[in-house]
Amino acid sequence: MKKINSQKKWQDLVSGFSGKTILVIGDIMLDEYIWGEVERISPEAPVPVVRVTSESWVLGGAANVANNICSLGGRAVLAGMIGPDPAGRRLKKLLRHSKIDGRGLVAERGRPTITKSRVLAGHQQVVRIDKEDSSSLKKSESERLLRLVRELINEVEGIVLEDYAKGIVSQELVDELSRLARGKGRFLVVDPNQKNVFTYRDVMLVTPNRKEALSASGMNREAKVEAIGRGLLKQWGCRAVLLTLGEDGMCLFEAGKKPHYIPTVAREVYDVSGAGDTVVSTAALALASGANLQEAAHLANCAAGVVVGKLGTATVTRDELLGALDWQ
């Protein structure tokens, strides 16, 4: 009976994703996959010649967070910078196909849509080509983006800030989003990047991976997980830190509570691309549905266990998440 009640609790929380709206802000990307076959080495240089058989495009970065939210049954409003270029037009088409609200997009001349092109032969990545401008936003760009956020915040239950260190996220943006969220009674969840040294005062949840956590804390690889998590909780000034540990699962740190360890549920790790996007999107939807931080972390862990079994930048559906919960 206990297991049935527990399972019903998870089902109710996941069912609650429907109708919840999350505002996603951050570095928006277009992920291109060029598939082909290698049959010979180039006579011009010692590199493989890839004969292209197909091409595909998917949403990446903050757009992948929004895509995960919609795939899980929620609604997403996306805010960030793109370029007035073919990649930007393709990205907007993908947003429409996934029913993602793009009212927060700012198309700025001189700043190309961030594009990551991966060339794959079979399941092996041969090379990745990045097109981007990772310079910090101009003051006018930042103000324009914040105006859109202020207009949209009343329509959402929570905010996700996705940082890929491509110039969108700054300490000023973090502070302003935290202030807005607090004033409107919304929560803010942040997926940080190791290249940016920020504080996250009053942020509900920050979700670093082990590498990001070590970089931010300044500790070495031998440091214990508990020391890292508690140190970041104090350093960042946030309410909670969800430290993702790869094959070792996750550990949640909340002020005044013991660390909460969650073992991994991944049955097969095929590709970790975008796993952090899945974690932050699932946690945000769970919080919007009334979950506490431990419950949100548990659901995020299950979703991550599903997505790492897929190739490339991928999403998790609500049925897949429920299926992962069923076999635990």
Q: At what angle do helices 171-184 and 139-152 cross, to 10 degrees?
A: 20
Q: Pick the catalytic residue: 27, 31, 101, 277?
A: 277
Pairing of strands 21-26, 158-162: parallel
CA dist 203 and 139 (Å) reads 24
191 in active site: no
> Beta-carbon neighbour count of residue 105 at 10 Å?
20
Structure tokens at 171: 């300490």
The contacts of residue 99 (CB under 8 Å, 6+ apart) are 70, 75
The counts of H helices and E strands in the chain are: 10, 13
| Active site residues per annotation | 277
